[in-house]
Structure 1
């Protein structure tokens, strides 16, 4: 498997672990890239658009 594909797999596994998918790391590691992408699409459809690990979160803001 190419280096880019393996990096993509690792990225998806990391993101799926953050979103507490009902699978263990070992189970995720056994999935193909296509299967991981399918699982991640399911998570994306169920999540709020701003809840991703890379999204901006305001800290120490004043509430009015």
Structure 2
């Protein structure tokens, strides 16, 4: 069970990092994003989504 949870967390982190790196705002910051926790990545992603909605 623990293995499945770790795998799910890893996949979610990779998904969020990919989405963030594809945005113009995070280009070239992949190394920095690699050190982020899942919670931090989710916060950054939500901030980016809100910022895009306001534009």
Q: TM-score range by the shorter chain?
A: 0.7 to 0.9
Gapped runs of 5+ residues in structure 1?
49-64
The 1-side partners of 2:36 and 2:29 are apart by 11
Aligned length: 48
**Pair member with larger Rg:** 1
* Moved segments of 4+, more than 3 Å: none
The 1-side partners of 2:25 and 2:33 are apart by 9
Gapped runs of 5+ residues in structure 2?
none
RMSD value, Cα: 1.6
